[in-house]
Chains A and B, each alone.
Chain A
Amino acid sequence: MDFWTITQELLQGFGITCLLFAMTLILAIPLGLLFAFCSMSKFSVIKVPTKIFIWIIRGIPLMLFIFVIYYLPSLLADGNAALNIFNTIDLKMTMAAGSRELLWQGRFLAVLIAFVINYACYFSEIFRGGIESVSQGQYEAGYVLGMTKSQVFFKVVLKQVIKRIVPALSNEIITLVKDTALANAIAIPEIIKCAKDMASSQALIWPLFYTAVFYLLFVGIVTVLLSRVEKKLSYFKA
């Protein structure tokens, strides 16, 4: 296999890596915001369970949580992990599409659920810290000017929160880029899985190291974009 064939094959895996990254980011941010508000709720029936849930998710390895999401529903349904519901989805989709190419979609769903919940918990702690760091005086200044609660949040507080959380969020987003590799725990053909398959089928080890280039480029782009955001918000002090 020559360099370009290998590059192309890795690119296919990298597409799945990027898909997992993007979908996790898009879904975990709003869910994280919801968790953040729940963990700041004045009702302890909402606050306490949310905090315990966040503590559990942040306390267990993401790889373990992927297994939990993958196996638990089937175990609960009929006590038989062998008839995995995500695999059933895989088969159905494969048959519908008539192509073995898509044999990973059900499991991708399991991984996506695990990633979204896991990252929503991490994001929620960052959001909560950011929201709580805006002084009460900012809210009160808005209120005495006759603004509604949502106007105060969206027009006064939000931008200050964003400015404060961008550095912490950047770290988490960069970690997410690399965490996508955990999807190969349940055989999602992301880039590292592709390289590993090549290692076993072609007896080639260098494609595995070559994947680093893809990650580095991706992290590089993400870093540049995030530092642009940071720079854009540097015109004010908060």
Chain B
Amino acid sequence: MALLEVTDITKSFGKTEVLKGISFSLEKGNVLSIIGSSGSGKTTLLRCLNFLEEADGGIIRVDNKVLFDSNTQHALTDAEIRQNRLHFGLVFQNFNLFPQYSVLENVCLAPKLHAKERPDYKTNAKEICDEIEAKARKLIDDVGLSAKCDAYPCELSGGQQQRVAIARALAMDPEILFFDEPTSALDPELTGEILRVIKELATREMTMVIVTHEMQFAAEVSDQVIFMDDGVIAEQGTPDEVFVHPKNERTKAFLSRYNNQ
């Protein structure tokens, strides 16, 4: 049974149809890469899945539970949307760390706020917070930044900021972690450190969806690749199928543009 099942997602902005029926499914522990030219709708797809945009049509299921179904009448309430988002984590292209908080605080903030809703929070506040902090330190250590726990985002390089952003997303224990071009805002010499962290997560069976322009990396890390073109999935399959033996003409054209660069 697939962990994530996306069926026929559509989305328009005014008259422009950006997603024209996207369907795919993702097994637990697998990594899916989404490639495609600029404007093909990759970001919009991730935003719909994370409820930053509401899809016009389609169904989103996680673990067989329906999170979104455009056929049911009622619009999702804020509380339901929040509940749905907890299944997912999202790492942005431009990090979006909270500038007024230190690295440790960035990672702890959401878990601490979330813990306040626990029934035992009042009696165990201290222990719960200590636990969250210990876990945050572990995550920060995992991305290689234990020396920077008390630094502020403005004191970090882009690559370091993005690693904090990954730790911050992981701190909420998402079932699926989404990345939207996690290395595009970085100097080329800094992309390696991010890609290493993502690979490390892949070996630990983290379920991930990665929008990327790093073809080499996508080929190495993914179990499944989707090539998006103009709001549809033009081709999908294993890295070998998509990168080495593409069938679709548009995939071939896209890849040859990359290989010639």
Interface, chain A (partner B; CB < 8 A) = 135, 137-138, 140-149, 151, 155-156, 159-160, 163, 235-238
Residues from chain B with Cβ under 8 Å of A145 in the complex? 85, 89, 109-110, 168-169, 172
| Bound CA span A238–B154, Å | 9
Q: Are B153 and A236 in contact (CB under 8 A)?
A: yes
Which partner residue on chain B sits nearest A144 by CB separation? B90
A contacts with B: majority SS: helix
Residues from chain A with Cβ under 8 Å of B153 in the complex? 236-237
Which partner residue on chain B sits nearest A140 by CB separation? B52
B67: shortest Cβ distance to chain A, in Å? 14
Which partner residue on chain B sits nearest A148 by CB separation? B82
Chain B 152-193 interface residues, beta-carbon cutoff 8 Å to A: 152-154, 168-169, 172
16 further A-B contacts with Cβ under 8 Å, apart from A135-B96, A145-B172, are: A138-B96, A138-B98, A140-B52, A141-B96, A142-B98, A143-B51, A144-B52, A144-B169, A145-B168, A146-B82, A146-B86, A146-B114, A155-B113, A156-B109, A160-B99, A236-B152
Q: Assess A141 versus B92: contact at CB under 8 Å? Given A146-B114, A236-B99, A236-B100.
A: yes
A237: shortest Cβ distance to chain B, in Å? 4
Residues from chain A with Cβ under 8 Å of B152 in the complex? 235-236
A90: shortest Cβ distance to chain B, in Å? 48
Taken residue by residue from 29 to 62, chain B's Cβ proximity to chain A (1 for < 8 Å, 0 otherwise) reads as 0000000000000000000001110000000000
Say whether B227 faces chain A, with CB atoms less than 8 Å apart: no
| Bound CA span A144–B171, Å | 12
Which partner residue on chain B sits nearest A162 by CB separation? B100
| Bound CA span A142–B172, Å | 12
Q: Are B85 and A143 in contact (CB under 8 A)?
A: yes
Q: Are B154 and A236 in contact (CB under 8 A)?
A: yes
| Bound CA span A238–B172, Å | 25
Chain B 71-96 interface residues, beta-carbon cutoff 8 Å to A: 78, 82, 85-86, 88-90, 92, 94, 96
Q: Are A144 and B99 in contact (CB under 8 A)?
A: no
Residues from chain A with Cβ under 8 Å of B86 in the complex? 146
Q: What's the tally of chain B residues with a CB closer than 8 Å to chain A?
A: 27
| Bound CA span A176–B85, Å | 46
Which partner residue on chain B sits nearest A158 by CB separation? B100
Residues from chain B with Cβ under 8 Å of A143 in the complex? 51-52, 82, 85
Q: Are B92 and A146 in contact (CB under 8 A)?
A: no
Other-chain contact of A237, B110, B154, B172 (Cβ < 8 Å):
B154
Q: Are A238 and B52 in contact (CB under 8 A)?
A: no
| Bound CA span A151–B50, Å | 18
| Bound CA span A236–B86, Å | 29
Residues from chain B with Cβ under 8 Å of A137 in the complex? 92, 94, 96
| Bound CA span A236–B98, Å | 10
Closest A-B pairs by Cβ, 3 of them? A145-B110, A141-B96, A237-B154
Q: Are B113 and A147 in contact (CB under 8 A)?
A: yes
B173: shortest Cβ distance to chain A, in Å? 10
Query: What are 9 inter-chain pairs, A to B, with CB distance below 8 A?
Result: A138-B96, A142-B98, A144-B52, A144-B89, A144-B90, A147-B110, A148-B82, A155-B109, A155-B113
Q: Are B89 and A238 in contact (CB under 8 A)?
A: no
A212: shortest Cβ distance to chain B, in Å? 39
Q: Assess A148 versus B98: contact at CB under 8 Å? Given A236-B154, A237-B154.
A: no
A138: shortest Cβ distance to chain B, in Å? 6
Q: Assess A238 versus B100: contact at CB under 8 Å? Given A137-B94, A144-B52, A147-B113.
A: yes
Residues from chain A with Cβ under 8 Å of B97 in the complex? 141
Q: Assess A237 versus B99: contact at CB under 8 Å? Given A145-B110, A148-B78.
A: yes
| Bound CA span A147–B82, Å | 7
Q: Are A144 and B154 in contact (CB under 8 A)?
A: no
A159: shortest Cβ distance to chain B, in Å? 5
